[in-house]
Amino acid sequence: MSESVALNLSSVGVIERYRKFLPVTEKTPVISLNEGSTPLIHSPRLSDTIGRGCQVYLKYEGLNPTGSFKDRGMTVAMSKAVEAGAKRVICASTGNTSAAAAAYAARAGIQCAVLLPVGKIAMGKLSQAFIHGAIVIALEGNFDQCLALIRDLSSEPGTAVVNSINPDRLEGQKTAAFEIVDALGDAPMIHLLPVGNAGNTAAYWKGYFEYQQLGQTTRLPRMIGIQAAGAAPIYYNYVIEKPETAASAIRIGNPASWNLATAAFKESGGGVDIVSDEKLFAAQKWLASNEGIFVEPASAAGVAALLKYVHRELSFESPLQSMPDNSVIVCTLTGHGLKDVASVMDDSFQPITAAPEKNAILSLLKGAQ
């Protein structure tokens, strides 16, 4: 390969970057969009606001090819599906999985069908499923019902399920933990992330654990999962029949990886907490206006929990109560804000009209100071 086309780490996908840790062989066709290698961004303002020497880093997964962390899992799941001869992939989704499945299936040249809860998918995500050519089926039901149907359909010949009940998805998603350790030189002390179907929690924990076994980290982080208050089955420890949250990505009442996530929280000494929708939106706005990072509402869950800590609003039993001094904290920002623009638009998002004259503009700017 000539020098001008030599690939560096950030221009290959997660299978090429972490091949030896993944369930692939040289026979596996790699279906990739160069996902992964997302930035781990230091947040000086959040670090200062928390104080006590704590340092916060943001793993911005919205910068994956389809705008969410799902791409890491989808490259492995799709590659393995094609290797096994699948002609069709299917998934249930609150939006992001369907977007990733549709894109990677287009790349692989196979059919993709997605089951979505009717009226509950952000337009950005829905548009992705359509533009990539997926068969989009809306069910009169919620995500949990969609997933139950997918389980029923999974034995159809030539069909591969690409939800996180497929272990290949978790294998791919664990690479985010590898990247964090590779960037920081060790595991963080605390890792916060939103929890919906709970696959990502399980995947990160697997990644950290494997890296520790290999001597790449000296420690394991406390895993802290954050659920939306109206869709918090793990927090309350019972199935929520009618989960409700404006953060549609995590509107899930019966997570598929419930047991794996619970084990991760327990083994890591972390736990689960909840945030209201109001706090999710406030954290989303805080990130956008203080750090220049636009995430979708569900993705702000970790930051929302940290802001609760700052404002002394945590419940007595919150796993964040016992945050040691000088903690290195990572929050995963799971998806891009442009996925779900409608949820942030309100009446205040109106441009100021002005005459096309310099002085008119200047007086507006001075007035807004």
The site for ligand F0G (CB under 6 A) is made up of: 68, 70, 93-97, 164, 194-201, 249-250, 296, 298-299, 334-335
Nearest to 121 by CA among 308, 248, 10, 309: 248
CB nearer to ligand F0G: give 54 or 89: 89
Nearer to ligand F0G, 16 or 210 (CB): 210
Lookup result for tokens 């790349």: 107
Q: At closest approach, how far in Å is the CB of 174 from ligand F0G?
A: 12
Q: Kindly tell me which of 12 and 99 has the beta carbon lying closer to ligand F0G.
A: 99
Cβ 192 to ligand F0G shortest distance, Å? 12
Q: Which residue is associated with the tokens 């989303």?
A: 284
Q: What contacts 181, CB < 8 A, 6 or more positions away?
A: 187, 208, 211, 216, 217
Minimal distance in Å, beta carbon 41 to ligand F0G? 17
CA distances in angstroms from 297 to 156, 171, 302, 363, listed in the order given: 35, 26, 11, 35
Query: Which stretches within the chain are classed as H helix?
Result: 14-18, 44-50, 70-83, 96-108, 123-131, 143-153, 167-173, 175-184, 199-213, 233-236, 258-268, 277-291, 301-310, 358-367
What does the alpha-carbon distance between residue 71 and residue 64 come to, in Å, rounded to a whole number?
A: 7
Question: With respect to ligand F0G, which residue has the nearer C-beta, 197 or 318?
Answer: 197
Place of tokens 């904290």: 329
What minimum distance in Å lies between the beta carbon of 86 and ligand F0G?
A: 19
Q: Output 189 or 250, the one with its CB closest to ligand F0G.
A: 250
Q: Considering beta carbons, is residue 188 or 335 the nearer one to ligand F0G?
A: 335
Minimum distance between the CB of residue 4 and ligand F0G, rounded to whole angstroms? Answer: 37
CB atoms within 10 A of CB 14: 29
Nearer to ligand F0G by C-beta: 54 or 339? 339
Amino acid, res. 331 = C
Residue placing its CB nearer to ligand F0G in the complex, 54 or 228: 228
Residue showing tokens 């020098």: 3
The structure tokens listed for 235 are 């927090």
| CB half-sphere exposure, 28, CA atoms < 13 A | 19
> At its nearest, how many Å lie between ligand F0G and the CB of residue 218?
27
3-state DSSP assignment of residue 41 = strand
Q: What is the nearest approach in angstroms of ligand F0G to the Cβ of residue 337?
A: 10
CB of 37 to ligand F0G, least distance (A): 19
